[in-house]
Structure 1
Amino acid sequence: MNDRNTEQQNRYLEEVCTCLHRAGFETQPLEDSQMPVYWNGVPLCRITGKGSVFYRREDVSTPQAEEALIRAEDITVRTLEYMTAMETAPQLKASGLEGDYRILADFNGTVLAGTHSKHGVQFVTWDWDYDRTGLSHGHYFMENYDGAKQDFAIRSGLIHKEQLFSPEQMTEIYRCCADSVDGDFFDLTAEQEKVIRSVQQQIEDCVPDLAERIRQQEDTLEQTM
């Protein structure tokens, strides 16, 4: 491996380490170019500088450990996406702009940019002015990459805001789907149940903390009864 690739992979591992810590995971120093990841004080998996995730079946033998592994894998993939883009992204140049911002996306007068900080990569979207020399209406997302991408897609006109549901809305839709297929309220055909199950799966993929959101809703309902 040449020095440039080594530096890139080390930068990636530093960033994914920061993201994992933010999500409640623990990490250990590199072993054989792999970063050990722990959950609740026990080994969970190992991450390489290329974004691969390795684990032992005995380390994810419980539903809680499997859920933690899925979250760690999601963080690994998401971090690899934007760190790979940051390595080759051109510098954002605009009047009055301070700092080293990199252009991750630029379309229809809106730009999505990222910058390195001591807290990890931070993201922001701006509108270009009419002659593309200045920026305005900055929406700052700190480390929220998914939120920044969604905001860019809406501001640039790639998607309509009305097509998106918030995590709160999706959680409630999920609960209604569960009531439909698991309860005795409706007489569903096999095809209807299949569609509803697919909706639930899609929401599970879109809302990583769905289980916790549902638990919080249930706790709130119990407290009000």
Structure 2
Amino acid sequence: MRLAPLHTTAGALVLLFALTACGSDDPGSLPAAFGGGAMPEKKQESGFKGLAKAGSMAGAARLVGGYTQCTNVSSIPGGEDSESEEDAKYGKTYSVTERGYCNDEDETGIFMIKDPKAFQAAIKADVDKEYAEHPHSHVNMGFVIGQDFASGSQSSQVMAAMLGPGSGMRVLNCHPDFNPPSGYSKEPALVKGCVLTDYLSEE
């Protein structure tokens, strides 16, 4: 079969669309690919509903693994015989159902969460307690979270990377004095006094 030259085919298509729209000055009568009509836009959810949902530890590991090595997830950090005392406290009170640790050098941990509002309330209580004793500590810090998981790392660079555009993750910050620089996001979380932000700093 002989194919028509490209310029001939293109010309025929232009003519076809011109005939289709003939007699109408309404751009909406043109095919959408040629600028006619309104293409439906997918609404980007904001706040908590805009966060990524992992569904499982494997799903969370894949999300976090885009920013650090997380091909294998262990139930204990760094291959140690027991989990750290700090991480051990994140249990039923925090609605944490499962803990996992990536196989990176930064001890990046993942916590699966059953009730995100209960988790945020428990974190807020922790921050309020620390604020009463050390009001200027960890002002710009917090867990990196999705809808059903939270992650923390010894590396602030790893945590900052997880906040990039399209990651679906944000920092849960519940510090009363938190006030990010202009240009960073600050949206309400599920618990009053906590916000979701893409700003993170150890200072």
TM-score, structure 2 as length reference: 0.25
Bigger Cα Rg: 2
More helix by share: 1
TM-score, structure 1 as length reference: 0.23
More strand by share: 1
